[in-house]
Amino acid sequence: MKNRIFGLLFGCAYGDAMGMPSEMMSRKTMCKAFPEGVHKFLPSTPYDFIGRKFEAGAVTDDTINTLFVCDCIIQNGGKFDVQKYIHLLQNWIKMNRDKSPYIFGPSTLKALTSIEKGNSINTSGLFGTTNGAAMKVSPLGIICDYHYLDNLVNTVEQLCLPTHNTNIAITGASIVAALSSYVLRGNKDINEMWNLAYSVINKCNGRGNDLPSASLAARLESVRMMMNEKNEKEILYELESFYGTGMETIETIPTVMALLQLSKLMPHKCAELSANISGDTDTIGSIATSICGAANNVFTEEEIRFLENVNNIEVTHLHWGLELVFDEEQKESDNEIWIDVYPLTCFLAKHTQEVQKVEGTREWIRTTKIREF
C-alpha cells in the first residue's frame, strides 16, 4: 500500500510537471512552441499562456491543491473536513498573494473571494463547473473505499462544496476519487474502471447545483465506443478536436478515461500523451498519471529526487501519513491498538544525527555521542 500511495501522489506531480509547459495551448501554438512535441520535462516558453517563467519539472496548482487535501486529511486524523481545508487555503493565500493567481483556478479563486466577503460556503461554489475539484480529489480515494459509493460521494461533495458545488463537478470529482480508490486497493482492470465510472454517475444524480450540461454518461459511452474503432493517433485527434480537452469537467473526465486505456495504466506513457494533447495538459496529466502511478509505481529514484528538488517539496511525509490513515481504515477489530506515529516521525526528523558504517560489518554508529541526562 505504501508503494501505491506514493505512486498516486508522485504520479500527480509527474503528470502535472510534464504538462506544465504546454498548458492551455492550442494545437497551432503547440506546433510553434514544441515542433518535436513534449517528451521530457521542459521549462516554460515565450508562448506560455499567462507568461510564467517556470523551470523544467515545475509543478502547478494541480499538485499544490492535491497536497493541501493530503495535509487536511492527515491533520484531521484521517478524515476530510471542509472547514479545515478552507482554512488551509486562506492561510496560504494570505502568505502568497502574488502567487495565488498561478496556483488556483478561476472557480476556486472566485469562491474564496466570495467566502472572504462573508458569504456562506453553501453558496460560494454554486457555479463552479471546471476541473478544479477533480484535479485535487485523488487522496480521498485513500480514506474512501469504492465499494461504498454513498460514503465516497458524500465526502467528495464536501470537498466540492465551497468551490465546485455543481452536479457536473461533483460527478467528475467522484469518478476520479472512485478510480483512485480502485487502483489503490490493487485493481487494474480497465473495463471495471469504465463500469465504475458509470456507477458513480448514477450515485451523483441530484447532487449539487444542477446547471445545464451535456450528459457525462453519454459522452463517456461515445468515447469508449470510439476507442474500439480507431487507432491511437486517431483517438487523440478525436479527443482534442471533437470531445475537447479544456478545463471544463465535461471535457476532462472523458479524456482522462481515454488516456488511462491508451496508456494501459503506465504512468510515463500517460504523462507524455497528456502533455501532447493540447488544452489543459497539466490537469489532465496530473489526474490520469496519478491513477496510473498508483496502479504501476515505476518511477525512478532519479525522477523523484529531480521533481522534489525543483519544487522544494517532499512527498515522503505525506505518503507516510496517508499510509497510516489507510491502515487505520483496515482495522479488523476494536481490539487492535493503533497509535499516530506522524508527530513522532516529525520529531525524529528534526533531531537526526549523522552516522557512519563500521568497516567489515553491517552496523552503523553515530558520529556524536548521545548526551546523558
Per-residue pLDDT of the chain (373 residues; tens, 9 = 90+): 778 999 999 999 999 999 999 999 999 999 999 999 999 999 999 999 888 899 999 999 899 889 889 888 988 888 899 988 888 888 877 777 766 666 677 778 888 888 888 889 999 999 999 999 999 999 999 999 999 999 999 999 999 999 999 999 999 999 999 999 999 999 999 999 999 999 999 999 999 999 999 999 999 999 999 999 999 999 999 999 999 999 999 999 999 999 999 999 999 999 999 999 999 999 999 999 999 999 999 999 999 989 988 988 765 545 444 555 555 554 444 444 444 444 544 555 555 556 677 777 766 666 665 444 4
Name the residue ranges covered by the structural domains of the chain: 2-329
CATH class assigned to 2-329: mainly alpha
Residue linked to cell 463517456? 220
**Total-model pTM:** 0.85
pLDDT reported for residue 348: 52
